Structure 1
Amino acid sequence: MESNPSTMQEQSPSCLEITMEVHSVVPPPHKSTIQKLKTRLKETLFPDDPFRQFKGQPTKKKWVLAAQYIFPILHWGPNYNLKLFKSDIVSGVTIASLAIPQGISYAKLASLPPIVGLYSSFVPPLVYAVLGSSRDIAVGPVSIASLILGSMLTQQVSPTGDPVLFLQLAFTATFFAGLFQASLGFLRLGFIIDFLSKATLIGFMAGAAIIVSLQQLKSLLGITHFTKKMGFIPVMTSVFHNSRE
């Protein structure tokens, strides 16, 4: 079948014609200031829209969903099987090999008995297994918090002079810190961290790493009389002054 070039040239301009359709944009409905504020608060405090699953459900089902939302173990627990248990055993042994020495070292940073570090590494994962739902989060003590706690308490009480009072104050401070964190979580105020820039977080982590490393000089060099301050200059001054120990 042969095509006529003249016919194609005659038809080509008509084929290039494009029909333009103009669509009118409908403006959004007007909202009052209170409605806008309500919408913004809902987007900020409840980005996952947890109340969506309760819509159109009977009362009994709502209670079940509420219990599963507060205690996620009720959601995935019935589907737990032996295969998952075997995998959890392997991962638990692997993490324990790291968490045990890490917990002891964090207790040392806070000037607390080693058994406290073991408890702090053992109890939080058990609590989070009931109240949490993330598979990748690490729960337990951290170095900078342990260091700040120990430095704060040693300014008031000596861990060797009155160890019982020191331990009681550590438990009290930990309780109020946990209460404050629980309040932030209950009020859905985790978005506050978004206001911290990446440079601020990087600087904080770098500074924390330096402070923790400097505090290890006491045990590394065997210094008995060490400064209670965490600054670079006081720590290095204490190291040079007590280097003969």
Structure 2
Amino acid sequence: MTKKMAKAGRFLAKALGIKLEDSPNFLVETFHSEGSEFSAEHDTFLEESPTTIEFLRDLVPSGKALAAYGKSLFPCISWLPSYNLHWLAGDVVAGITIGAIVVPQGMAYAILANLEPQYGLYSAFVGPVIYWLFATSKDITIGPVAVMSTLVGNVVNEVRLVHPDYPAHVIASALSIIAGCIITAIGLFRCGWIVDLISSPHSQPS
């Protein structure tokens, strides 16, 4: 019955000069005693089941996504082209101020780590020089701290009890490389949320 009505409607539209737009997926419902059955007058779209290879292919990032990820690793790319003399003047003042603080501070931290004072200067110098390539920080200096220096000193003492032939600076350098590899992996895999699981001393009840 529905099919006859559809044909009658098309004939009437054609007689009245009405142009009908046929849908490529137009379905005509035909009723039978068992239930309703759909038949298509035109080719219908049949979606194939996804395969494992297609799923894995979708996980591979595109060239544009890789370029955006690489750019995110170096934030300096976005602001370095607009660097100006006004910023340079401020950076010079900040550098002199930081240097006046970091030099004696680094030497003191080296002594806490049971190292010679010059190794504290090496550690204090490399951090600020390289850190600006990967992030921005306007309020703090990147380098050793008192607690970390004390922990390194304890590790140096423990290792030298077992291996007295190893120099202290070699032990500290190996420890720094191991810690640096772990931190680099955390940064590359965007696992900075781990820091949220570390409780802050200010949040602990007194």
Shorter-chain-normalised TM-score: which range? 0.5 to 0.7
TM-score normalized by the length of structure 1: 0.52
Structure 2: 5+ residue stretches without partners: 1-60
Residue 77 of structure 1, CA deviation? 0.7
Asked whether the 8 Å contact 1:67–1:74 carries over to 2, the reply is no
Name the counterpart of 2:141.
138
Looking at structure 1, the residues matched to 77 and 148 of structure 2 have their Cα atoms a distance apart, in angstroms, of: 32
Residue 197 of structure 1, CA deviation? 4.1
Q: Which has a greater percent of helix? A: 1
Structure 1: 5+ residue stretches without partners: 1-50, 207-245
Looking at structure 2, the residues matched to 187 and 106 of structure 1 have their Cα atoms a distance apart, in angstroms, of: 31
Name the counterpart of 1:173.
175
Q: Deviations over 1:149-169 (max 9, x none)?
A: 1112112317xx75x622111
Higher RCO structure, 1 or 2 (CA under 8 Å, sep 6+):
1
TM-score normalized by the length of structure 2: 0.60
Identity %: 33
SS in 2 for 1:96: helix
Asked whether the 8 Å contact 1:103–1:120 carries over to 2, the reply is yes
Any residues of structure 2 matched to 1:13-92 within 5 Å, and which? Answer: 65-92=68-95
RMSD: 2.8
Residue 62 of structure 1, CA deviation? 6.0
AA in 1 matched with 2:197: F
Asked whether the 8 Å contact 2:98–2:141 carries over to 1, the reply is no
Q: Relative to 1, partners in 2 of residues 1:201 and 1:167: Cα closer, same or farther, differing over 3 Å?
A: farther
Larger radius of gyration: 2
Residue 188 of structure 1, CA deviation? 2.2
Asked whether the 8 Å contact 2:75–2:134 carries over to 1, the reply is yes
SS in 1 for 2:136: coil
Asked whether the 8 Å contact 1:153–1:166 carries over to 2, the reply is yes
Asked whether the 8 Å contact 1:109–1:147 carries over to 2, the reply is yes
Looking at structure 2, the residues matched to 62 and 192 of structure 1 have their Cα atoms a distance apart, in angstroms, of: 24
Q: Which has a greater percent of strand? A: 2
Any residues of structure 2 matched to 1:1-245 within 5 Å, and which? Answer: 65-157=68-160, 165-198=167-200, 202=204
Aligned residues: 144
Q: Deviations over 1:111-146 (max 9, x none)?
A: 111111111111111111111134334311111111
